[in-house]
Structure formats: C-alpha cells, structure tokens
Amino acid sequence: MAIDGPSGSGKSSVSKAVAARLGLAYLDTGAMYRAATVWSMETADLDDAAAVATAVRAMPLVMGLDPAAPGVELDGRDVAVTIRTTEVTTNVSKVASNLDVRAELKRLQRAIIDQESSARAVFSGGRGIVAEGRDITTVVAPDADVRVLLTASEEARLRRRSLEVHGAADATAVDATRDQVLRRDQDDAKVTQFHVAADGVATVDSSDLDFEQTVDAVLAVVAQAESATSRA
C-alpha cells in the first residue's frame, strides 16, 4: 500500500495506524531522507551534490518496519530523535532535492517493499507493507494494490504541525510553523508531485476529519480495492 501527501496531512500517523490494523509492515520514506541528511551532515559538504550522493550510497541505514515502533538506525546508532531536530529539518531539502540521492533511496525503498511482499519479509510475514512519503504512489510503488493521496487544507496542515512541534495551535505557534511546512513542500514539489492524485490514486481529504475518521477513510479505500479485486 502506498500513501503520499504534503506536510501536516497526517500521513505518517495514519499510515502507522493503518499498517497496525492490517498487520502490515510500515516504511517512513521521509525518515530515510532525514537519515540521509544526518549522514551527509556528518560525512560530506551539503553544498557538494556529488559528495552528498556518494555519502548516501555508502550510508549504513537500517529502517525499523514495526508500525508500533519503527525506529531508524544509522551506523548502529538510534537516530529516531536526531532526524527530527530543527537543524535536520532546515537542511533536509538540500539532500531530498538531489536527484542522485533520490535515485539511491528509491532503490532502497523498492527493495524493502519487495522484501516485505516475499518470503524474505522481516516483519510482515510476506503480507506486505504500507509505505508513505511524497512520490510513493507514482514513482516508488506505482503498482501497489492500494494507492492513496492523503491531503488536507493548508490551514488544517499548519494547525496539526503546530500542535505536534509547539504543543499549541494559536496564531503565534502557527506562524512559527508556517515557513517550515510550506517551504519544505515548495522545495520538494520541484522534484516530485504530491499535491494532485495521479490516475488510479484515491484521494482522502482529512481537513474536516479527526484522526480515527481519517484512518477509517483510508481503510475504506482498502476495503473497496479488495472488493474490486475479488469481483475481477
């Protein structure tokens, strides 16, 4: 299953919940780009695109696939907290917009997705995986059984990210979050499309839905796809 969406749409928390409900593995591809940013900050010059790509190709990354506790390990270190720091958030677009980096991480993502759908599965027993990010439905896993674009209004996305980062959603907190959310989306939109659903991708707009309602809406898409497959 592939889920895409802009910042603050709720795709990470919803994807984890959907994976847990369905007994599937979970892959946060955005965390992979953040881990690549940490590694590049430590081992390369972020302004040297070729050096960053070389560093990422050698990156010793292990992604946890349990939706209850995904985890991110870099060279044997738990970097789940480090990848969410302001410094990493500020620099991640430099790495994520590097086309050679994107090619390498897409290769790794496809390998994980294929693994979890086979007898080699690390977590799911071969049942499959929910992979979420920016271009999963169109580039990484365009042949996924279920593809969803999870979106929300700009106001809703800013409010959610403000609550997540600042613990408040008043005007001051939202303004403090605005640049981080919108700039990241603008930067990423230069190399991938995640605002408009491609053909065959179901759109779930969570603007007026709470968390459980959003999870239920995505599960309804899954049920609809399974029903269509059984009738075919």
**pLDDT tens-digit series, residues 119-169:** 999 999 999 999 999 889 999 999 999 999 999 888 888 877 777 666 666
pLDDT, position 140:
96
pTM of the model: 0.87
Cβ 146 vs Cβ 219: under 8 Å: no
pLDDT, position 170:
66
Q: Beta strand pairing status for 202-205 and 147-151?
A: parallel
pLDDT, position 179:
66
Per-residue pLDDT, averaged over 6-22, amounts to: 92
Q: What CA–CA distance (Å, rounded) separates 68 from 217?
A: 20
Whether residue 210 is predicted with pLDDT greater than 80 in this model: the reply is yes
Residue 218: pLDDT band (50, 70, 90) is very high
The pLDDT > 70 percentage for the chain reads 86
pLDDT, position 110:
97
Whether residue 46 is predicted with pLDDT greater than 90 in this model: the reply is yes
Q: Which two tokens stand for residue 107?
A: 């290769």
Rounded (5°) CA angle 92-97-100: 115
Residue carrying structure tokens 């991480």? 105
Whether residue 14 is predicted with pLDDT greater than 80 in this model: the reply is yes
pLDDT digits (tens, 9 = 90+) for 170-207: 666 666 677 666 666 666 556 565 667 788 999 999 99
pLDDT digits (tens, 9 = 90+) for 88-107: 988 998 999 999 999 999 99
- Give the helix ranges, DSSP H, for 7-131: 11-22, 29-43, 49-57, 86-96, 99-116
Whether residue 85 is predicted with pLDDT greater than 80 in this model: the reply is yes
Which stretch of DSSP H or E encloses residue 62? strand 61-63
Q: Which two tokens stand for residue 160?
A: 């959610």
Q: What is the DSSP letter of 92?
A: H
Q: Mean of the per-residue pLDDT values for the chain?
A: 89
Strands of the sheet containing 61-63, edge to edge, are 61-63, 72-74, 77-78
Let me know if 57 is exposed, middle or buried by CB neighbors in 10 A (0-12, 13-18, 19+). middle
Q: What CA–CA distance (Å, rounded) separates 57 from 212?
A: 38
Work out the number of other CB atoms within 10 angstroms of the CB of residue 172.
Answer: 11
Task: Tell me, rounded to whole angstroms, the distance of Cα 36 from its chain centroid.
Answer: 14
